[in-house]
Amino acid sequence: MIFGIMIWIIYCFLAIGIIFQALGTIALHRFPDVYTRLHGATKCTTFGSIFIYLGIILYGVRLYLLGKGGYASLITHTVLILVLLMITNPTGAHAIARAAHRSGIMPKYAVVDKLKERRK
């Protein structure tokens, strides 16, 4: 009984992750400038990846509880990947946005530009 519920939770996590990944792809095509595209794609893909990895972790826990061997390393590696993704994805997005700003690409709808103010 519990394993049947567990598989549906895994399916829900994977579906949510795929939906957010698709929204990130749409953000790349629909948003007007590099900053909004970067924001939409980074947030959606990070959130989508979290749910996909949580589904994988839960699947590994399910197989471990069923008595199948060798899935402890799957869970450990997926948790490690999840932590590294949480660190590198926002850091990379920040570096790309800062490089775009320094190269002279200005936001289309900027209200406040703190980087420009600091240079003066």
Could you list the residue range(s) of the whole structural domain that residue 94 is in? 2-119
pLDDT of residue 120: 60
Give the separation between CA 11 and CA 13, rounded to whole angstroms. 5
CB 29 within 8 A of CB 17: no
pLDDT tens for each residue of 59-114 = 998 888 888 777 888 899 999 999 999 999 999 999 998 899 888 888 777 666 77
pLDDT of residue 111: 67
Q: What's the total number of domains in the chain?
A: 1
Q: Of the candidates 19, 53, 23, which has an alpha carbon nearest to the alpha carbon of residue 41?
A: 23
